[in-house]
Structure formats: structure tokens, C-alpha cells
Amino acid sequence: MSDIIYKTESYKIIGICMEVHNNLGPGFLEIVYKDALEYEFSLAGIPFEREKEYAVKYKETILPHKFYADFIVYDKIILEVKAVSEIYDKSIAQAINYLSASGCKLSLIANFGELSLNYKRIIK
């Protein structure tokens, strides 16, 4: 069995997501959870960038529209925030595409819309 990629960092990120979910619970819009995550990342001294812009390359050209990752944490992990009834396949597909476009190796999808925090690790 191989080692978990970015184990320490991803555990810290998920721990902060759990802290936010434990305090806010389900029912808010994504933006509220993002604001709380930004607060907690800053408090913990965890480096992050919110709404990081990435260009999308198609064949030999850069497309005019970009994608924006909810968070890039530790300059290498994409954190996508959801507030839905479950993590859907389209969210997983989105995370895979974001990994390809960004060059990152790990994406975490954190869903705050369920009674307990649910998350998935997507690895490239």
C-alpha cells in the first residue's frame, strides 16, 4: 500500500473543515463555509489562496474562460467546498478537471450540506 499523498496537510485541512461544520452545521450557502474556512486557515497559520484563477489549455491554445478553485491550500492542494445533499459524480469530475488544469496532485471535496461533514480525496 502506498503512502497517503500530503497526509499531514490534508488531515489539517479536513480537521479545519470539521471544526467549521461542527460550529455552523448544515444549511448555509457555500460562501458562508468559505468565509469560515478562510478565518480558520488564517487563525491556524495555514497558507492558502481563495478563488485562485487557473487558465484552461485546449490543444495549443489558452481558452478565454478560466476556472477558479475555491481554495489552494499549502500551494498544492485544491479544496472544493460544497453545500449539497451529497457529493455528486459531477463534483468529482470537476475536481479531476481542476487537477489537470492546475497541475496539483490532490483535490479535497468537502461537503457541508450533510448532517456530518462528508469529504472525498481525488488524486491525480
The rounded average pLDDT for each run of 10 residues, N- to C-terminus, in the chain (124 residues) is 86 98 97 98 98 92 94 98 96 94 96 98 94
pLDDT of 75 reads 96
Nearest to 81 by CA among 67, 91, 96, 89: 91
79 Cβ contact list (under 8 Å, min separation 6): 13, 17, 37, 48, 69, 70, 71, 72, 73, 107, 108, 110
pLDDT of 3 reads 81
In terms of CATH architecture, what is 7-123? Alpha-Beta Complex (3.90)
pLDDT of 124 reads 86
Nearest to 13 by CA among 95, 80, 94: 80
2-118-105 Cα angle (round to 5): 40
CA distance 55 to 123: 20
Cα Rg of the chain (Å, integer): 14
CA distance 34 to 19: 13
What is the value of pTM for the model shown? Answer: 0.93
Can you name the residues that pair with 73 across neighbouring β-strands? 48, 77
CA distance 108 to 59: 27
pLDDT of 2 reads 61
